[in-house]
Amino acid sequence: MTLMVEAKGLVKRYGERVVVNGLDLTVEEGEVLAIIGPNGAGKSTTLDMILGIKRPDAGSVMYWREDAKRQIGVQLQATPFFPGYTALENLRMFAVFYGLRPTNAELMEHLKRLNLHEAAHIDASRLSGGQQKKLAIAMALLHRPKLLFLDEPTAALDPRARREIRELIRTLAEAGTSIVLTSHDMEEVHKAATKVVLINRGKIAASGTPDELLAQFGVQDLEELYIKLTESIEEEPALGAVYSGGGSL
């Protein structure tokens, strides 16, 4: 088993507020790890610290190799497209950033993988929300990363597009790509993820395969688990004390 990422004791504070509180996380090769949790739980902040976008106040992040960042693909919630340029042109610009020189035919093939080829010649800023999301994912995949981060990859997508992205995730994982994703769609997480980490108030409330979690907590599905664990932590006053300053989250 190769560990692709090992994050230990991650802490992030904003003023007196601790939004990520001593979080440990590992990503194994070929794993599809879903990070779930309420709005504001600290999921994106955790991803940002793992990616080096935000500096942790404590803790460490180790990758499987020193030059790992060349082999990482990232789709964040907001993607800065270049307006005035088509989807294809945007894709080409990102390819150049990665040091690649793909032909038009290769780029079209890449767009086709995401069922986005018909939008190739549309200005990126005029694409629908779902098409923009797909373009962001296409950009993250251009250099065939070994490790892929997807922050809410299926939010704003219609059911067919969701299924396409889920199938793409499965195909990538089968080919050995490790994937870390966040999602609020529990059914989808159950279908796509090999491991689930539930974050609540900056801490890990549960972690395991979807089936392990259902058995461990005696619930029917991940939505029930989510409701159960996010409720129970809010009700438990002792856990509130771990947040410095006592500020509400």
- List residues binding ligand ATP (CB under 6 A): 14, 19, 37, 39-45
Cβ 193 to ligand ATP shortest distance, Å:
16
Binning the chain into helix, strand and coil, the percentages to the nearest 5 are: 40, 25, 35
Whole-angstrom distance, CA of residue 139 vs CA of residue 75 = 8
Cβ 231 to ligand ATP shortest distance, Å:
17
Cβ 199 to ligand ATP shortest distance, Å:
7
37 vs 145, beta carbon nearer ligand ATP: 37
Cβ 47 to ligand ATP shortest distance, Å:
8
Q: How far apart are the first and last CA of the chain?
A: 37
Would you call 199 helix, strand, or coil by DSSP?
Answer: strand
100 vs 204, beta carbon nearer ligand ATP: 204
Cβ 54 to ligand ATP shortest distance, Å:
8
42 vs 130, beta carbon nearer ligand ATP: 42
Cβ 234 to ligand ATP shortest distance, Å:
14
55 vs 101, beta carbon nearer ligand ATP: 55
Cα angle value 241/247/248 (rounded, 5°)? 95
How far CA 41 is from CA of 53, 113, 178, 249, in Å, comes to: 18, 33, 23, 8
The torsion angle over the Cα atoms of residues 240, 50, 52 and 65, rounded to 10 degrees, is: 150
111-115: long-range contacts, CB 8 A cutoff, minimum separation 24? 111/87, 111/138, 113/138, 113/141, 113/168, 114/138, 114/164, 114/165, 114/168, 115/161, 115/164
List CB contacts of 48: < 8 A, sequence separation 6 or more.
Answer: 54
Tokens of 46: 């955790």
3 vs 233, beta carbon nearer ligand ATP: 233
50 vs 120, beta carbon nearer ligand ATP: 50
